[in-house]
Amino acid sequence: MTVDPTSSLGADVCEEDAPQCDTCSEPIVNKPTHRVITWIEDNTTKTSHFCDDACFSTEATGE
Ligand SMILES: [Zn+2]
């Protein structure tokens, strides 16, 4: 695999490091629509990432 150092993406985060959308499993890389929710469950902080409002609503309203 070749990595182009002049890649126009300009992202600090590569896909492998990016969080994945909880709904569609897409890696979320520098998306302005990125949504994150956190909550406490069993004394642990849980985090969910969503690539945009559509995926966020899908998760929030159930199937
Ligand atoms: Zn998504």
Domain ranges of the chain: 17-63
Judged against a pLDDT cut of 90, whether residue 59 lies above it is answered with no
What is the mean pLDDT of the segment spanning 3-22?
Answer: 67
pLDDT digits (tens, 9 = 90+) for 17-53: 889 999 999 999 889 999 999 999 999 999 999 999 9
pLDDT at 55 over 70: yes
Dist. CA 24 → ligand 1 center (Å): 4
Per-residue tokens: 30: 């520098």
Question: Ligand 1 being an ion, which residues bring their Cβ within 5 A of it?
Answer: 21, 23-24, 51, 55
| Confidence check: pLDDT of 60 > 90 | no
Ligand 1 centroid – CA 54 distance (Å) = 7
Ligand 1 mean position, distance from CA 16 (Å): 16
SS3 at position 57: helix
Sequence-distant (6+) residues with CB within 8 A of 13 are 29, 30
Contact 52, 30 (CB under 8 A): no
Confirm whether pTM is higher than 0.95: no
Residue 54, pLDDT above cutoff 70:
yes
